[in-house]
Amino acid sequence: MSLSPPALLLPDRAGLPDTIAYLRAAYPAPQWQAHRNYGELTAFWLRVHASLRDQAQRIARITDGFREGRSTAAGFQTMAVPALNHFLQHLDGHHGIEDQAYFPKFRALDPRMAAGFDVLESDHRIIHESLEATVETARTMLHALGTPGDSRVAVDRYAETSERLFALLARHLSDEEDVVIPAMRAHGERSVS
């Protein structure tokens, strides 16, 4: 699948145009909870997104603390490794469920949604590539921390790749909410559950 124009690719965009998030204006975020179609699925979806954002911020704080000398290498590993593993598993699982279950149901509701879900599925591939780069730099960093010498380059490289992943994810989550949550308002949650 090829996105057109290229500005819709996740690293290059600052949000989705109204032609893609065409229900956003009719169902603005401040009114979601008050809508009659706001239910458990919407609340769950938003909680999952909030949890992913919180986990990314926690990992960034752990990394920043180590880079700024507020924790030891051992302390950093003790906190960062489980936090990163949990985050990566959570993210991968969430995207898998969306790609395999929810996105196909949304596509079937309204053909106009296809373009939005093409963008979101492309995002998932880009995020997965960034996730793999983060895992690789994390492994390199952990090896460097376990050997004598300066590990600063490896730590900085990990920080850069993880920051890129978190930035891509933040943009994607916001854009996904602009497509998915208004669609659940318009069509009802039962149509995709």
Q: Which domains does the chain have, with CATH numbers?
A: 30-191 (1.20.120.520)
Per-residue pLDDT of 123-178, as tens digits, reads: 999 999 999 999 999 999 999 998 877 788 999 999 999 999 999 999 999 999 99
Per-residue pLDDT of 49-75, as tens digits, reads: 999 999 999 999 999 999 999 999 999
pLDDT at 2: 47
Helix, strand, coil fractions of the chain, as percent rounded to 5: 75, 0, 25
pLDDT at 93: 93
Neighbours of 189 (CB within 10 A): 18
Please give the model's pTM, rounded to 2 decimal places. Answer: 0.93
Q: Using 50, 70 and 90 to split pLDDT, how confident is the model at 120?
A: very high
pLDDT at 3: 53
DSSP string for residues in 84-122: HHHHHHHHHHHHHHIIIIIHHHHHHH-GGGHHHHHHHHH
CA count, 13 A, side-chain hemisphere, 129: 8
Q: Are 183 and 109 in contact, with CB atoms under 8 Å apart?
A: yes
CA distance linking residue 29 with residue 46, whole number of Å: 11
Residue 91: alpha-carbon gap to chain centroid: 7
- What average pLDDT does range 18-35 have in this prediction? 94
3-state secondary structure of 4: coil
Q: Are 178 and 172 in contact, with CB atoms under 8 Å apart?
A: no
